Amino acid sequence: MRLVICAKEVLDPDAVNNYALAGRLTIGDDGTITQSAIPRLMNAYDEQAIEAALRIRDAGVECTITVVSVAADPSAILKHAAALGADEIVHIKPGADGADCAGVASLLAAYAGGTGADLVLCGRQASDDDQGVVPALLGEALGAPIITIARDVSLSGRTVRVTRVTPDGDEVVEADLPAVVTISNELGAPRYPTAARSMQARRMAPTLLTPSDLGLAEGELAPRVVLERMFAPEVHGNCQFINGAGPAESARTLVALLREERLLV
C-alpha cells in the first residue's frame, strides 16, 4: 500500500497573527510578508495528514509513507516529515515562474499517479492562503474520489473509511482506492519526532524531481492565478468600556444596556 502525503511550508500563522494584532505586519510589493523573524514550518493540517498516515501504519496496514512537497526549497519540512516517520521524502521543484494551486495540483497528480499512490492525504487547507483547492484539483486530475475534512481515516483492503466533520455532525463514508482525503484539525495533535528518528532523518535525502521528470512542460504550469498584492485589513475599534465598581455592577450595567437595545429580554 502506497500512501502519499502532500505538505507545504508556511509562515508560522501564530506569529503572523501576533504581528497583525500588534499592527506591525510588513508586506512587500510582491505580496509576501517580509518579517524575517517569523519562523517557517510545515502547515499544521499537513502535519496532521502525516499523523493520519502514521496511525494507518500503526493499525497494522503494510504501507510505505511518502511525503512530497512542491516548492523552491522545502528541505526543512521534508526533514521534519522524515523525523516524524516518513519512509521517503520527495521534493518537486516547479519551473522558474513558480506554480499556482492548479500547477501544484498538476505536479502532485503526475507524481502520485505515476508512482501508483493508493491513498493521497492532504491537509484541508494551507494556513497562509487558506485556499484549500489543491486536494480537489489533484483528485480531479487523478480521476479519484475526494473526501474532505476528515477526523479519522482507516483502510480495509482496497476501501478507505473516513469520519468527516460536517456542520450537521460526524458522517462516516467509504470509497474505493485510489482516493484523496483531506485532514482537519479534529484529527488531534500529531506526535513528536523521536530522537532516534530525528537522527535517521538527518541522513535521509529527498528525491528531487522537476516538471519534465514528471512529463509536464513548463507551459502547462504557467500560473493563471497570481498574487498581485497583500495587505492587512484595518479594523476600527469603537468599544464602550464598562467600568463598574466590581464584577457584579459591571455585569448588571451590561445586561441593562443589552435590554435597552432589545438584544436581551
Of residues 24, 28, 30, 31, which one binds other proteins by CB under 8 A? 31
For the bound state, the minimum distance from the C-beta of residue 146 to other proteins, rounded and expressed in Å, comes to 7
Task: Establish if 261 lies at the interface with other proteins (CB under 8 A).
Answer: yes
What's the alpha-carbon Rg for the chain, to the nearest Å? 22
Smallest gap from Cβ 28 to other proteins, in A, equals 12
Site residues (CB under 8 A) for other proteins, limited to 32-51: 33
Distances (CA, A) of 254 to 5, 202, 237, 244: 50, 58, 18, 10
* CB of 53 vs other proteins, minimal distance in Å: 20
CB-count exposure of residue 191 (10 Å: 0-12, 13-18, 19+): middle
242 part of the interface to other proteins, by CB under 8 A: yes
Query: Among 131, 156, 194, 212, which residue interacts with other proteins (rule: CB under 8 A)?
Result: 131
How far is C-alpha 201 from the geometric centre of its chain's CA atoms?
22
3-state secondary structure of 74: coil
In what helix (H) or strand (E) does residue 155 lie, and over which residues does it extend? strand 146-156
CB of 106 to other proteins, least distance (A): 10
**Which residues, numbered 208-227, are part of the site for other proteins (CB under 8 A)?**
224-227
Write out the binding residues for other proteins, residues 178-207 only, by CB under 8 A: 184-186, 189
Q: Which of 72, 96, 196, 265 binds other proteins (CB under 8 A)?
A: 265
Contact 221, 94 (CB under 8 A): yes
Q: Which is nearer to other proteins, 57 or 161 (CB)?
A: 161
Mapped onto helix, strand or coil, the DSSP state of residue 171 is strand
Choose between 186 and 213: whose C-beta lies nearer to other proteins: 186
Q: 62 vs 130, which CB is nearer to other proteins?
A: 130
Q: How many residues does the chain have?
A: 265
Amino acid at 141: A
For 116, the grid coordinates are: 501508483
Which residues are bridge partners to 119 per DSSP?
3, 179
Asked if 29 touches other proteins (CB under 8 A), the answer is no
Is residue 100 a contact point for other proteins (CB under 8 A)?
A: yes
Closer CB to other proteins, 3 or 16, in the complex: 16
How far apart CA 15 and CA 171 sit, in angstroms, is 34
With binding defined as CB under 8 A, does residue 247 bind other proteins?
Answer: yes
Number of residues that bind other proteins (CB under 8 A): 87
Site for other proteins in 106-125 (CB under 8 A): 124-125
Q: Give the x-and-dash track for 133-172 against other proteins (CB under 8 A).
A: x-xxxxxxx---xxxxx-x---------x--xxxxxxxxx
φ, ψ for residue 160, nearest 5 deg: -105, 135
Cβ atoms of 15 and 48 closer than 8 Å:
no
- Give φ, ψ of 75 to 5 degrees: -60, -35
